[in-house]
Structure 1
Amino acid sequence: MLIVMLALGACQQSNPNFQEDVSNPEFFHRSMKQLSDVIVHDIFSPPVASRIYGYSSIAAYEAALPAFSDYQSLAGQLNGLEAVPQPEEGKTYCFPLAGIHAFLKVGKALTFSEDKMEAYQEELYATLDSLGIPGDVWDRSLAYGEEVAGHILAWANKDMYKETRTYPKYSISEDPARWQPTPPDYMDGIEPHWQKIRTMVLDSAQQFTPPPPTAFSLDKESKFMAETMEVYDALNASAPEEREERVAIAKFWDCNPYVSHHTGHVMFATKKITPGGHWIGITQIACRKAGADFMKTLEAYTLTSIALFDGFISCWDEKYRSNLIRPETVINRYIDESWTPTLQTPPFPEYTSGHSVISRAAAVALTSVFGDNFSFLDTTEEEYGLPAREFGSFLAASSEAAVSRLYGGIHYRPAIDNGVAQGEKVGDFVVKHVQLRQQMSNK
């Protein structure tokens, strides 16, 4: 594939403005959208999807970096990331092209649908080639992007992902307080060993361990049963207009990559974007609204993806430690056997809420890039048939994402509130310790 791409650059008449033309951030936005589409197609779980976004974005950032003196490398800032290969001095490169190439190289390596990534790359490179990049610059830039991608993939290969593929599945406990697989498919617990994945910025997966969940109890006067009844009544107790709004909020933030539907003996599934993918979509919206240039666009994606990456590790560490039973199981066993949640319960323990943790972490990262009270129209879910929603800030959007899990019938209140606090700590730590700008500021 690289040989074919190298050959393209020799076919066009050179353009003196090629550097500016290739620096159009839309080329990168399109590439990120392609990666999201492949992640949806390949049905990656939310934690694994965050890993794909993280390494791909960092590869793009590092390969484009030499053209932007206001920015600095993440080597030495991220756990285990050593000095990135440098371009040859005195030679001309198109570093935005190198960044795009590194992004696509890593994205293709970490996903299954190589054919889809390759077809997109051929189409994109034909467009880029038409911009008149000199042949030697084209070749040199792709080669540099390839080198940086190899460096990032070698780093990724040491994060324990490969090893955890061989670890045992989640073992179901008979303790009535512990998580059990839920309808309709009763799937095994997803990624029970994700806490062993190397963090990017956090000192460890346990750095921001939340307080324990409310103790399980079947006493009708207990706090746990009160929290369970709040889930049960989240829609039943509302006025019609409020109920409709809560259902709309739940569905907008569902972000379940695989929802199965059963009708008699017929089963089919729908695929949707992951929770992290939704925040990558919000990042795209923010970049476009702010008129972010090529490197600020990479800055936003990179910082957000790092926050998502570490947010999932922090959350999953708690999920399989507390191993709390889901509301659906409690309600069906002890309150109402015919009750079903608005959303399909995802296949992993309840506490804390993944949406709450990663949404707040991502919102903190985006706020550090674009500022407080950055209003936006979130159109991310329109392609899945859901209307856009307006938000006055990233934090407001993250708060709605968090409470959507109560409305959806899949989380108790403490998982939401403590999850938001957990995500805030993750996001703050990432923003404080990851310095992308030379001026020691993320603004």
Structure 2
Amino acid sequence: MEKVVRHRGWQWLVGVWCMLAGHMACAQARTELLHRAQENLTRVIVHDIFSPPVASRIYLYANAAAYETLVLGDSRYVSLHNQANMFPKIDQPAAASHINYELAALYAFLRTGGKLVFSEPMLKDSSEHILAGVGEVDEVIYQNSLRLGEMVSDSILAWSSRDNYAATRKKRRYAYSKEKGKWTPTPPGYIDAVEPYWSQIRPVALDSAAQFKPVPPPAFNTDAASDFMKEVKEVYDVTRKLSKEEILIASFWDCNPFYLNTQGHLNFATKKLSPGGHWMSIAGQATQRAGKSWIETSKVYLLTSIALFDGFISCWDEKYRSQMIRPETVINAYMDEKWRPLLQTPPFPEYTSGHSVISTAAALVLERELGEGFVFDDRTEMPYGLPMRRFASFTAAAEEAAISRLYGGIHYRSAIVNGQKQGRGIGNQVIQKIRLNAGIGK
């Protein structure tokens, strides 16, 4: 990576702002670079069509690399070492006074993220512009910073290589159960099961994938008076009389990274954010609104990514344990063969609701960091043609994300309610186990 020695365009304006407003304003202005790096990583994740669980893994390791670089230069915060499962010890650099930690953190983030996506060149193209935003840097400091970023990135990538992800790539193809009431692929693509072995991935804060195992779902029973069919009928009834607001809510939280369009014999995908990508976007918007510093912003991003990552591991553990059949399959077979859900049914078992789990977990972490009554505008879906939504709290957003799955016709009530309970357990576990402020005991 070549050294950048002059300001251009908006970079020149940032330099002027620094001179006029002082160092604090300068640092806060340049925090935008970390948000840009996050947005560009999300753009590549969407482009490469990573599944929600895999996307959460990319966010985790990229943000761990940024945070662990910054913490080396800030004694107010502590490493994930001795807190996160199997996290390595990362030593202080020898020439600490000759390092720009912000530059190093950006490089560590972008380098780590680049190693985990398919389209690494696409991320590299944007990396040089982001690093240039740091402005003029002494040659020695510039090279020291990049070396530090590379060293931390290597440590994080080594940690990631031991999370069992590679082993799950070699597993046999998922075998569907022939038992009644068990999940089978759904229209229109009848796509194979997504990440059936994700429960074998090493979590960060959880003791195991099953630590917050939910109660079992209602037993499959086609008797109209059964608890199961009552839930099926609720989905059917709710989706047939949706208000405009409910349709908007379902669409806003759809977060389907691979929406399959079908026109005759032609099939093509519409690429969108994953659920985790939506919550990483919320974390970014909230920290910007709160005016958080570099290390504080990185901390929030990291904790949010941990909640998402562990949330998907816990949720997927239950999905492939219970293998619950989707509403679309039941309604078409026993109630109305022409019924279709508002949202496209995802290619994995129904119980529990992934969005309910990860949204609740992420909201708890964000409330811990930014406050329970934090009001924010969520512009995440505007690039996809949907309007901004304002929320009175992170919990309010999480609750809306959860109920959106009923409106969308892809989840039963119990998957939502028990998914929220599961998410609360995960969020609280992250809060209790991962303490990143120095001097705060466990």
TM-score interval, normalised by the smaller of the two chains:
over 0.9
SS class of match (1:261): strand
Of stretches 107-116 and 257-266 in structure 1, the one that deviates more from structure 2 is 257-266
Matched residue, 1:92: 98
What's 2:348 paired with? Answer: 348
* Partner residue in 2 for 1:369: 369
Counterpart of 2:389, as a letter, is R
What pairs with 1:417-428 in structure 2 (closer than 5 Å)? 417-428=417-428
| Distance in 1 separating the partners of 2:71 and 2:23 | 14
Greater mean deviation of Cα atoms: 23-32 or 275-284: 23-32
Q: Which 5+ residue runs of structure 1 have no aligned equivalent?
A: none
**Kindly tell me: are residues 137 and 51 of structure 1, through their superposed partners in 2, closer, same or farther at Cα, counting changes over 3 Å?**
same
State the 1:232 CA deviation. Answer: 0.5
Change (3 A) 1:217 1:90: closer
Listed one character per residue, the Cα deviations across residues 239-281 of structure 1 (whole Å, up to 9, x for unaligned) are xxxx211111100000000001112222221000000000000
Cα distance in 1 for partners of 2:424, 2:440 equals 21
Does the 8 Å CA contact 1:64/1:97 hold for their aligned counterparts? Answer: no
Contact kept in structure 1, 2:80 and 2:436, CA below 8 Å: yes
The answer (yes or no) to whether the contact 1:201–1:433 under 8 Å persists in 2 is yes
| Aligned residue number for residue 207 of structure 2 | 203
Residue in structure 2 matched with residue 110 of structure 1 by the alignment:
116
Q: Does 1:146 align with 2:150?
A: yes
1:180 aligns to 2:175 (yes or no): no
DSSP-derived class of the 1:267 partner: strand
TM-score, normalised with respect to structure 2: 0.94
Give the superposition deviation at 1:66. 2.2
Point out the more displaced range, 433-442 or 327-336.
433-442
Q: How does 1:99-248 map to 2 (within 5 A)?
A: 99-128=105-134, 131-237=135-241, 243-248=243-248
Q: CA deviation at 1:439?
A: 3.5
Gaps of at least 5 residues in structure 2 are: 8-14
Amino acid at match of 1:355: H
Counterpart position of 1:61 = 67
- Which portions of structure 1, spanning 4 or more consecutive aligned residues, are displaced by more than 6 angstroms? 15-20
**Does 1:259 find its partner at 2:265?**
no
8 A Cα contact 1:85 1:148, kept in partner: no
CA RMSD between the two structures = 1.7
Corresponding residue number in structure 1 for 2:11 = none
**Is 1:47 aligned to residue 42 of structure 2?**
no
8 Å contact from structure 2 (residues 27, 293) kept in 1? no
Helix, strand or coil at the partner of 1:67: coil
Tell me if structure 2 keeps the 8 A contact 1:57–1:298.
Answer: yes
The answer to whether the 8 A contact 2:106-2:131 is kept is: no
Report the alpha carbon displacement of residue 98 of structure 1 after superposing the two structures with TM.
0.7
Decide whether the 8 Å contact of 2:33 with 2:133 is kept in 1. Answer: no
Pick aligned residue for 2:3 from 8, 18, 23 = 8
Partner Cα distance (1:155, 1:216) in 2: 41
Distance in 1, Cα, partners of 2:287 & 2:422 = 26
C-alpha deviation, 1:68, in angstroms: 1.9
Between stretches 376-385 and 60-69, larger displacement belongs to: 60-69
> Secondary structure in 1 aligned to 2:238?
helix
Residue 305 (str. 1) matches residue 280 (str. 2) = no
Deviation at 1:70, TM superposition (A): 1.1
What displacement does 1:115 show? Answer: 1.2
Matched AA of 2:81:
A
> CA deviation digits over 1:126-153, x for unaligned, max 9?
333xx22111001001100000000000
Establish whether residue 390 from structure 1 lines up as the match of residue 390 from structure 2.
yes
Whether the aligned pair in 1 keeps the contact of 2:103 and 2:131 (CA below 8 Å) is: no
The TM-score normalised by the length of structure 1 is 0.94
- Counterpart of 1:37? 43
Structure 1 residue 65 displacement after superposition: 1.1
1:85 deviates by 2.9
Aligned residues: 429
